[in-house]
Chain A
Amino acid sequence: MDMPIRVLVAKPGLDGHDRGAKVIARSLRDAGMEVIYTGLRQTPEQIVAAAIQEDVDVVAMSILSGAHNHLFPKVVNLLKEQGADDILIIGGGVIPEDDIPELKKSGVKAIFTPGTSTKDVVKYIENHIKR
């Protein structure tokens, strides 16, 4: 409880559905984390700037528009450029199975698709952050 895990929850791209992101934000809150919620329609640049200023341990992105193959790796690369590649990056949303290996290769450490228990997300974060 002394050093809460800080997580940025962001919605890159143009889809307007943030129900899932809010459910995740709420369950991370209930797991004792500080969730910086930045809302809809974020550019990768905005997400990275926020992640840096907030000094988060995790960037969690949700996307439903199909632009994940473009936007997720872009966030990874921009964070790398800023020397912030110690931040754990995870993603979620409607993401086809076939896309997942490539996304993981690009540096998105985990992808959570519909049906994932929020408990699993919490556990994954707790076990994988770099402190």
Chain B
Amino acid sequence: MNLEERLLHGDKRACARVITIMENNQKKAFEIIRNNYHKTGNAYVIGITGPPGSGKSTLTDRLTRELLNRGKKVGIIAIDPTSPFTGGAILGDRIRMNDLSLNENVFIRSMGTRGSLGGLSKAAQGAIKVLDIYGVDYIFVETVGVGQSEIDIVKAADTVLMVMVPNLGDDIQAIKAGIMEIADIFAINKSDIDGADKTQVEIEMNLDLNQGEDYRPPVLKVSARKNEGIGSLVDEIVGHREYLEETGELKKRRKRNTKMEILNLVEEELMEIIFSKMKKESSFDAIIDNVVSRKLDPYTARDNIIKLI
């Protein structure tokens, strides 16, 4: 059997290899996706995001167990940051999920961001497709620990779960724009710590101010380590999915995401073309020198470069 056939037969090693060649941008991976893309779209993608150390990996482990109990097959993509200096990375999310490694119905893959800044890795979208072809029911995509504005996960996920912890900041943090706006469900993890109630109230009060929206994100208190509140959280995820399906929002959401994905792919390819042209073009260096020495402004430089290409 070739790689593609093995992937279609649910061979874990083949699945892992296809993700690797996808990540390394090799043609073979795109070919496999092209051949099978019509079969994808069945896996439901859940984004898990939140600050570093909030318990995303542990919570992902718990949620996966709950879905396994409900007879589902689960894929996990766990992303950690790549060094901007060396290209190396420590991918440590698996530590919290070691017991799942051996489960027949789970596939876990760690990825480095490899230069991507929005909390996802460049190849995460591709890996989602590979896992979909491999045949899982649910895919968790765990982002890097995020701050306030890494929101790329919305482009990849059907449901976004925002993991919060008590005592991270005052109530102004809850009304800030950015990451707080993308959550479909809030989970306050480590809720056995003092301050969980206050965090919950702050988030709820902020949600009170949302106007004209049919859907109000639920705010749940959980403890991943103590395995508390996990069943209800999975119920909320399933509930959100049903809401999206019944209202037609899922279609809209996927269309929006597909559009963004295609635009991103085009943008990447264009940048690739531009960079490779610039490497060959000696006048590009001259343009930069002129901007540095203030003979030229950056906006005119832009126009000149576009003309070159």
Contact = CB atoms under 8 A, between A and B. Distances in A.
Interface of A: 1-4, 6, 25-26, 28-39, 42, 45-46, 49-50, 52-55, 82-84
B88 A52 contact: no
A55 to B, nearest CB: 4
Interface stretch (B14-22, B45-53, B169-177, B247-255): B14-22
A29 B83 CA distance: 8
A49 B90 contact: no
Interface in B219-239: none
Interface string B52-92: 00000000000000000000000000000011001111111
11 contacts: A35-B91, A36-B92, A37-B90, A38-B94, A45-B102, A46-B101, A53-B16, A54-B94, A54-B109, A55-B17, A55-B19
B160 interface: no
A31 B90 CA distance: 12
A36 B110 contact: yes
Contacts of B20: 6, 55
Interface size class for chain B?
A: 20 to 34
Closest 5 CB pairs of A and B: A29-B88, A55-B16, A39-B95, A49-B101, A32-B87
B98 A39 contact: yes
Nearest to B86: A32
A45 B107 CA distance: 15
Given A4-B112, A36-B91, A54-B109, A42 B98 contact: yes
A52 B15 CA distance: 9
Main secondary structure of the interface of A (DSSP, over half): mixed
B16 A2 contact: no
B88 A35 contact: yes
B16 A52 contact: yes
A37 B6 CA distance: 27
Interface in B1-59: 12-13, 15-17, 19-20, 24-25
A109 B236 CA distance: 49
B81 to A, nearest CB: 11
A30 B112 CA distance: 14
A36 B94 CA distance: 8
B153 interface: no
A64 to B, nearest CB: 19
B109 A37 contact: no
B162 interface: no
A55 B17 CA distance: 6
A82 B13 CA distance: 9
A54 B263 CA distance: 29
A35 B87 CA distance: 11
